[in-house]
Amino acid sequence: MEKVIKVVVGLYGTNCYLLKENKEVIIIDPGKEANKIISNISKDEKVVGIILTHGHFDHIDAVDDLVDYYKCDVYMNFKDKEMLNHKLNSAYGYFGKVKSEVKPLKENDFVLGSFKLEIISTPGHSDGSILIKYKNHLFTGDTLFKNSIGRTDLITGNNKKMYQSINLIKTLDPNLKVYPGHGEITTLKEELRYNPFYR
């Protein structure tokens, strides 16, 4: 049976998630503190990949250390790729720091190890922001938080696109468990009822 472990890392309290099943692990948004993340993965578990929900620095800063340690691949929506290459401000005036090779993550079905994921494009917080759906789990990055949404005033952020993404998320199964990039875990049903941006 699948298991999700939340590891809060870095100055901005980024939620890094470890999605585990059948001794395989996907690391989602390793924003900092690689050793803390590694300590939550046992020696008999295999890391099959790292997925980034978007390119902001507080979600990517441990990538290189983890790639060096696990020799795994990294995936993201390439609309945010320039944020990793020091060509574009990633957030708050900081630049991305990923030097490892990154592979493109396309929308819809995506298989990584034994995980069959659904990748949903949700631009707004950044142009390359995505959701990752696995069974009844929905990893939302900085698109959806408990009782709030991500800001749209950073580089490639777009208020109109954010509201289009909100309307898309409203169509998803309300029973999904929501794992945001910061803050508390919630459910889509709760957000549809209490989140002022979803009413």
Pull the structure tokens for residue 11. Answer: 């100055």
pLDDT for the residue 97: 72
pLDDT for the residue 109: 95
Q: Give the class (CATH, top level) of 3-194.
A: alpha beta
Q: How far apart are CA 36 and CA 66, in angstroms?
A: 11
Q: What is the pTM of this model?
A: 0.96
Query: What average pLDDT does this structure show over 11-32?
Result: 97
Res 87 pLDDT > 70: no
Domain boundaries, the chain: 3-194
E strand intervals along 52-106: 74-76, 89-91, 94-95, 102-104
User: Using one digit for the tens of pLDDT, what is the confidence trace for 101-112?
Assistant: 999 998 899 999
Backbone phi, psi, residue 38, to 5°: -60, -35
Q: Which residues pair with 14 in a beta bridge?
A: 9, 182
User: Using one digit for the tens of pLDDT, what is the confidence trace for 126-137?
Assistant: 999 999 999 999
Q: How far apart are CA 194 and CA 199, in angstroms?
A: 7
Q: How far apart are CA 164 and CA 104, in angstroms?
A: 23
What separation, in Å, do the N-terminal and C-terminal C-alpha atoms of the chain show?
A: 34
Q: How confident is the model at residue 199 (pLDDT cuts 50, 70, 90)?
A: confident
Q: How far apart are CA 37 and CA 170, in angstroms?
A: 32
pLDDT for the residue 91: 56
